[in-house]
Amino acid sequence: MPSPLEGILETALYAEDLDAAEHFYATILGLEKITRVANRHVFFRCGPGVLLIFNPEETVKPPHEGSLPVPPHGTTGHGHACFRVAAKNLDLWAEKLTSAGISIEADIRWPTGARSFYFRDPAGNSLECAEPGLWNID
């Protein structure tokens, strides 16, 4: 039996307008862009992991000859990702987002005592900022 999985290395969301996604994640959220390939994808560093933003119209296509053999993939509809934020910084993030014209859809105190809030990216993906204690992690 192999050892347990160690964590999530990358998370993928989908957006047809990569220019809007790139602006949002780099400028509003302040993530460091790793790479962008035309209208196919843009990748960002997020803490120890990576956030992948794919254009769903491009990722369903089979890989081109000579490129890496990544199988076609994708989804339809809005996805979800949750960002880890220290409790003391949640209000600062909420203020930053609302100052940028981004609505906070819900602000929740969970049964664990942890707090999180939800908002949307330009593609409609549901994003969340949460204290690590939400899942009893550090």
Q: For the domain that residue 116 is a member of, what is the CATH number?
A: 3.10.180.10
Q: Which two tokens stand for residue 41?
A: 């994808």
**Considering its fold, how many domains does the chain have in total?**
2
Which residues, other chains included, contact 18 with Cβ-Cβ below 8 Å and sequence gap of 6+? Answer: 36, 39, 40, 41, 42, 53, 55
Query: Cβ(81)–Cβ(11) under 8 Å?
Result: yes
**What pLDDT was estimated at residue 138?**
59
**Residue 82 maps to a domain:** yes
Q: What is the pLDDT of residues 36-52, one digit of tens each?
A: 999 999 999 999 999 99
Are 89 and 42 contained in the same domain? no
> Domain range spanning residue 92?
78-138
Residue ranges of the chain whose pLDDT lies below 70: 137-138
Are 85 and 133 contained in the same domain? yes
Are 50 and 88 contained in the same domain? no
Are 137 and 99 contained in the same domain? yes
Are 83 and 55 contained in the same domain? no
**What pLDDT was estimated at residue 40?**
94
- pTM of the predicted model as reported, rounded to 2 decimal places: 0.93
**Residue 38 maps to a domain:** yes
CA Rg value for the chain:
16
**What pLDDT was estimated at residue 122?**
98
**Residue 121 maps to a domain:** yes
**What pLDDT was estimated at residue 53?**
97
Q: What is the pLDDT of residues 105-114, one digit of tens each?
A: 999 999 989 9
**Residue 66 maps to a domain:** no
Q: What is the residue whose two structure tokens read 């899942």?
A: 135
**Residue 42 maps to a domain:** yes
**What pLDDT was estimated at residue 49?**
95
